[in-house]
């Protein structure tokens, strides 16, 4: 599916197409509708660039207790804990 944003919407928002795309990607990421990887893929950014953009906006990465526990288990399985 492709979404077309009319030029008058871009003009009214005073944003470039790339800026609007970034806004949508950040919104979807923060609402946990897409992963950081999907956002990066869509935007053509690497993970560091995307995380920097989140930081510039005062936003944090989506990382919850389940993610932490999975990371701990991975470290244990690698013998690093």
Residue pair 37/44 in contact by the 8 Å Cβ criterion: no
Beta-carbon contacts of 25 under 8 Å, excluding residues fewer than 6 positions away, are: 34, 39, 42, 43
pLDDT of 1? 85
Q: How far is CA 9 from the centre of its chain?
A: 23
Q: List, for residues 37-65, the tens digit of each pLDDT value.
A: 999 999 999 999 999 999 999 999 888 89
Q: List, for residues 19-38, the tens digit of each pLDDT value.
A: 999 999 999 999 999 999 99
Nearest CA among 77, 81, 70, 17 for reference residue 25? 17
């Amino acid at each position: 599916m492709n979404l077309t944003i009319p030029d008058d919407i871009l003009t009214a928002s005073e944003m470039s197409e790339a800026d609007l795309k970034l806004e949508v990607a950040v919104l979807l990421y923060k609402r946990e509708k897409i992963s950081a990887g999907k956002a990066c893929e869509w935007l053509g950014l690497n993970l560091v660039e995307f995380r920097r953009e989140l930081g510039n906006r005062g936003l944090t990465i989506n990382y919850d207790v389940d993610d932490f526990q999975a990371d701990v288990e991975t470290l244990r399985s690698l013998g690093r804990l």
